[in-house]
Structure 1
Amino acid sequence: MNIAPTTPKGPVILVDDQSDMRASIAQFFGLAGYQVQEYSRAQDALAHITKEFEGIILSDIKMPDMDGHDLLSHCQKIDRELPVILITGHGDVPMAVSAMRAGAYDFIEKPFDPELLVDIVARACDKRNLVMENRRLRHNLDEAGQLGGRLVGTSEVMHRLREDILTFAQTDASILIVGETGTGKELVARALHDQSSRKDHDFAAINCAAIPESMFESEVFGHEAGAFTGANNQRAGWFEQADKGTLFLDELSALPVGLQPKLLRALQEREITRLGGSKLLPVDIRVISATNLDLEKAANEGDFRSDLLYRLNSVELHIPPLRERGEDVLILFDLFTYRFGQRYNRSSPTPDATDRLALLSYTWPGNVRQLINIAERYVLRNIRKTTSVEELLNGSASSENTLSDSPISLKERMEAFEAALIRQTLNETSGNIAKAMERLDLPRRTLNEKMAKYAIERSDFL
């Protein structure tokens, strides 16, 4: 196999007492773009293995002094999430299986196919990268409601969204959150506030669609006593309440055009005047807005002021609809059914492969909000009798968006079903590969290939 040099990957700590084998493997992985650190003794390698090590371990099992099994044991004490791949000679498979039970990531038997070894190492490195990335993320989140726990999902789009939140939260830039109804725009706005330097001050949320035009000024800017009939006392508006904190303007597109200049002036000058008053009051606020419509188009059509839009969209964050988040729907559904099971003091039912296929194939016009509703009904309906997800979806208000009308191709549906079935089997067997192979009637190589294809990690089910 010809391997062109690539951008460095890894690193990979390679431990083998046989110099020829070690040099051959090191050269192969070096050509594949990995940073390889070679050691002939496990004790020497251990000196370079820490909890902060960002790579993986590839070690022979049979070595003098400290063998691969002992090295694995030491690595497990340092970091249980550090992938250790063991190379075993012919006839040492029982020892390798024992090591797998002790926490090894995987093993490969000599003589091995180099491409298979590269595949195993690549998946292990991806796993390690994800672990280290998650640790860095958790390190940045010192709030009780951590970002990863509030914006749940492992899809690439959600990963990017969490990164964007951490990047822009520490600025005072105005942010416009764009997303369909039910995607969690206020949740993102609160996450931005909670990760900012303003987190110890108020988060004031205004639903622009819920305030009557006649009451807008008094609600948003406040009023003096006697400003209008019934205004018996002075009242601070939302701008004052958000002082030194965050002002969240939800459903921004519903703001009447006639009121937009008043909001624009307050945002430009960072000062307001209460209705019925004359004193200018300075306000120190960070503004976050949200919309489910295309405000650029609305501005071009004269339904929204372009100068106000430019004031509010220094940064745009786009929340993906649920149908674009892949297997996040399964993670969220499991989370919501668990929470509703706790709320109603019931054990949460486990969706089978057919339920999971239905969840993956549905288009979710109501997004996460609709999924929460289906999860609650799934828990409640399964108290007395078995009810499938598809039955609940067909009985929902958006039944026109059921499986038969889904734009997802047959190939995508089959792949989603296959991935869900493998995940379910690994979950039921607690990550036991041998049992999963038996239940799925698949040889090990085929199962490994499918797990690699769908980025399924055995360690997630241990």
Structure 2
Amino acid sequence: MEPRLLIVEDEPDMLLFLKRFFRRKGYAVTAVPSAEEAWNRLAETEHDLVISDLVLEGMSGIDLLKEIRAIDRILPFIIITGAGTIESAVEAIKIGAFHYVTKPFKREELEFTVKRAVEFGAMHRRLSKLDEEEKDAGNNNLLIIGESQQMKKIISIIEKVSASDTSVLIQGETGTGKTMLARHIHSLSNRSEGPFVTIDCGALPENLLESELFGHVKGAFTGAVRAKRGLLEEAHGGTVFLDEIGELPPQTQVKLLRTIQELEIRPVGGNHPIKIDVRVISATNRNLKKEVDSGGFREDLYYRLSLIPLHLPALRERREDLLQFVGQFVREFNQRHNKKITKLSHTVMRKIMELPWKGNIRELKNVIERAVLLSDGYIIDAECFGAGGMDKDNPGKDSNCDPVLLKKAVEEAEKNAIRRALRIAKGNRSKAAVFLGIGRRTLYDKLAYYQIED
């Protein structure tokens, strides 16, 4: 759905230019010459952004902003002002305008500001709606949000294979949500009523790992004063999630391969096999194929585990989803900590888009929880967001690189999305536009702007 802009400008030539310019950019535009008429249009139709000249005949742009803010704290509002009225524009920012643009303005500057304002409003509408909804206890679908093509591809694969008992291998950096994705696959499967048992292969000492996996009989080793069921047996009828599978020692790899092939386990010290019925999902932050090539992981086990291989992208590779994650986290921590956050400052939003988030979703979640806890009102400001040394000591910030500007980050994400869509569509621009959810004319404009060839 095209974002809806309401443009208020009493100079006919400027009004016509803005109307045509933003329609070419893919927006649905309503253009009116007065604040009074704009007010009437707002009563008739919901809009995503208001762009208003500051000085108008009759009701001024600031008066219109005040009227809107009395009933709507979220709707973004951009002021267009002449150089001589900057002070009034700054006053409009204090009242609640998203930004101001001075005449004469550069088209690219105005377009960029409008795009950010629309995204800002969309995120805060999402926050408001989420706050009104009941919390879905045990919701593990947080990962499965966003519009990035990589996640759409993963979701499509999951929908096809979840109902089967096929082994799935999830690879990705630490903090990308591999456990959440495994739980999501389990929840969609025919085993969803059965247990979901997680085994962290990297957290258990080697001498205890086999006992935890396969169980043991009484007297199997010193300290085994009674028999114990293994976690693989505990997962009978459900799913076993082998996290950090790349840490599995060679001897245990052999036993696990036999278990998967024969669907039976032999407890440590035991003589009789036990039949099990489990689905295996495994995960690692390593490149397991390279581990196989270097001899660090068994090739036959690798192919048993990776019948369906999935690679979770890092958060920096799906920046178009960042604000949706933020909205979900704010909602979660509002409920958990009895807070009422409904807004993020412009500075905080810019910072969120700039940071590389090397800790991925886990790091973002921790930062948002801290910011919610430290916020006193309904807004997360730069002070709350930066508390704890985000600017200086943040482990996700690369001190060896120049800061990534918001505009640059967004443009890079958009260029990558367009290139992916063209590849999927095999160069067919009409199909690529459909994949991207934009008009064909809009795609042509973007191809020219970014100088992208098919």
> Where on the TM-score scale, by shorter chain, does this alignment land: which range?
0.5 to 0.7
Question: What corresponds to 2:391 in structure 1?
Answer: 394
Question: Within the alignment, does 1:306 sit opposite 2:299 as a pair?
Answer: yes
Return the offset for 1:304: 0.8
CA distance in 2, matches of 1:279, 1:252: 26
CA distance in 2, matches of 1:399, 1:105: 33
CA distance in 1, matches of 2:312, 2:282: 13
Question: What corresponds to 1:254 in structure 2?
Answer: 247
CA distance in 1, matches of 2:321, 2:29: 32
Question: What corresponds to 1:380 in structure 2?
Answer: 373
Return the offset for 1:295: 0.8
- Mapped contact 1:176–1:290 kept (Cα < 8 A): yes
- What letter corresponds to residue 236 of structure 1 in structure 2? R
Question: Within the alignment, does 1:268 sit opposite 2:261 as a pair?
Answer: yes
Question: What corresponds to 2:176 in structure 1?
Answer: 183
Q: For residues 345 and 172 of structure 1, do their structure 2 counterparts lie closer, same or farther at Cα, with a shift above 3 Å needed?
A: same
Q: For residues 298 and 159 of structure 1, do their structure 2 counterparts lie closer, same or farther at Cα, with a shift above 3 Å needed?
A: same
Question: What corresponds to 1:208 in structure 2?
Answer: 201
Question: What corresponds to 1:434 in structure 2?
Answer: none
Q: For residues 405 and 393 of structure 1, do their structure 2 counterparts lie closer, same or farther at Cα, with a shift above 3 Å needed?
A: farther
- What letter corresponds to residue 184 of structure 1 in structure 2? G
Question: What corresponds to 1:66 in structure 2?
Answer: none
**Greater mean alpha carbon deviation, residues 323-332 or residues 358-367:** 323-332
CA distance in 1, matches of 2:333, 2:264: 45
Question: Within the alignment, does 1:101 sit opposite 2:44 as a pair?
Answer: yes
Return the offset for 1:247: 1.0
SS at match of 2:242: strand
- Mapped contact 1:219–1:237 kept (Cα < 8 A): yes
SS at match of 2:170: strand
- Mapped contact 2:320–2:413 kept (Cα < 8 A): no
Question: Within the alignment, does 1:412 sit opposite 2:408 as a pair?
Answer: yes
- Mapped contact 2:356–2:396 kept (Cα < 8 A): no
Return the offset for 1:204: 1.1
Q: For residues 161 and 396 of structure 1, do their structure 2 counterparts lie closer, same or farther at Cα, with a shift above 3 Å needed?
A: farther
Could you report, residue by residue, the CA deviation over 1:47-92 in whole angstroms, capped at 9, with x for unpaired residues? xxxxxxxx99xxxxxxxxxxxxxxxxxxxxxxxxxxxx9999xxxx
Q: For residues 171 and 144 of structure 1, do their structure 2 counterparts lie closer, same or farther at Cα, with a shift above 3 Å needed?
A: farther
What is the aligned-residue identity percentage? 38
| Aligned residue runs from structure 1 range 118-133, under 5 A | none
SS at match of 1:253: helix
CA distance in 2, matches of 1:397, 1:104: 38
Match for residue 152 of structure 1 among 137, 145, 158: 145
Return the offset for 1:274: 1.3
SS at match of 1:327: helix
CA distance in 2, matches of 1:240, 1:160: 33
CA distance in 2, matches of 1:87, 1:329: 29
- What letter corresponds to residue 276 of structure 1 in structure 2? G
- Mapped contact 2:370–2:385 kept (Cα < 8 A): no
- Mapped contact 1:393–1:402 kept (Cα < 8 A): no
Question: Within the alignment, does 1:291 sit opposite 2:284 as a pair?
Answer: yes
CA distance in 2, matches of 1:157, 1:251: 22
- Mapped contact 2:199–2:231 kept (Cα < 8 A): yes
SS at match of 2:341: coil
Question: What corresponds to 2:232 in structure 1?
Answer: 239
| Aligned residue runs from structure 1 range 25-64, under 5 A | none
Question: What corresponds to 2:110 in structure 1?
Answer: none
- What letter corresponds to residue 242 of structure 1 in structure 2? A
SS at match of 2:189: coil
TM-score, normalised on structure 1? 0.57
- Mapped contact 1:204–1:247 kept (Cα < 8 A): yes
Question: Within the alignment, does 1:348 sit opposite 2:334 as a pair?
Answer: no
CA distance in 2, matches of 1:414, 1:323: 11
- Mapped contact 1:223–1:274 kept (Cα < 8 A): yes
CA distance in 2, matches of 1:240, 1:198: 15
**Greater mean alpha carbon deviation, residues 312-321 or residues 384-393:** 384-393
- 5+ unaligned residues in a row in structure 1: which ranges? 1-54, 57-84, 89-93, 107-142, 419-447, 454-462
CA distance in 2, matches of 1:409, 1:103: 31
Return the offset for 1:334: 2.4
Q: For residues 339 and 416 of structure 1, do their structure 2 counterparts lie closer, same or farther at Cα, with a shift above 3 Å needed?
A: farther
How many residues in Structure 1 have an aligned counterpart in Structure 2? 300
Return the offset for 1:162: 2.1
Return the offset for 1:298: 0.8
Return the offset for 1:264: 1.1
Q: For residues 181 and 416 of structure 1, do their structure 2 counterparts lie closer, same or farther at Cα, with a shift above 3 Å needed?
A: same
Return the offset for 1:327: 2.8
- What letter corresponds to residue 395 of structure 2 in structure 1? S
Match for residue 356 of structure 2 among 356, 363, 368: 363
Q: For residues 307 and 396 of structure 1, do their structure 2 counterparts lie closer, same or farther at Cα, with a shift above 3 Å needed?
A: same
Could you report, residue by residue, the CA deviation over 1:414-457 in whole angstroms, capped at 9, with x for unpaired residues? 75999xxxxxxxxxxxxxxxxxxxxxxxxxxxxx979x97xxxx
- What letter corresponds to residue 316 of structure 2 in structure 1? R
SS at match of 2:280: strand
TM-score, normalised on structure 2? 0.58
- What letter corresponds to residue 333 of structure 1 in structure 2? V
CA distance in 2, matches of 1:149, 1:399: 21
- Mapped contact 1:198–1:246 kept (Cα < 8 A): yes
Q: For residues 158 and 417 of structure 1, do their structure 2 counterparts lie closer, same or farther at Cα, with a shift above 3 Å needed?
A: closer
- Mapped contact 2:245–2:284 kept (Cα < 8 A): yes
- Mapped contact 2:162–2:189 kept (Cα < 8 A): yes
Question: What corresponds to 2:101 in structure 1?
Answer: none
CA distance in 1, matches of 2:42, 2:322: 34
Question: What corresponds to 2:157 in structure 1?
Answer: 164
Question: Within the alignment, does 1:336 sit opposite 2:329 as a pair?
Answer: yes
Return the offset for 1:150: 5.2
Could you report, residue by residue, the CA deviation over 1:208-228 in whole angstroms, capped at 9, with x for unpaired residues? 011111112211111112222
SS at match of 2:197: strand
SS at match of 2:261: helix
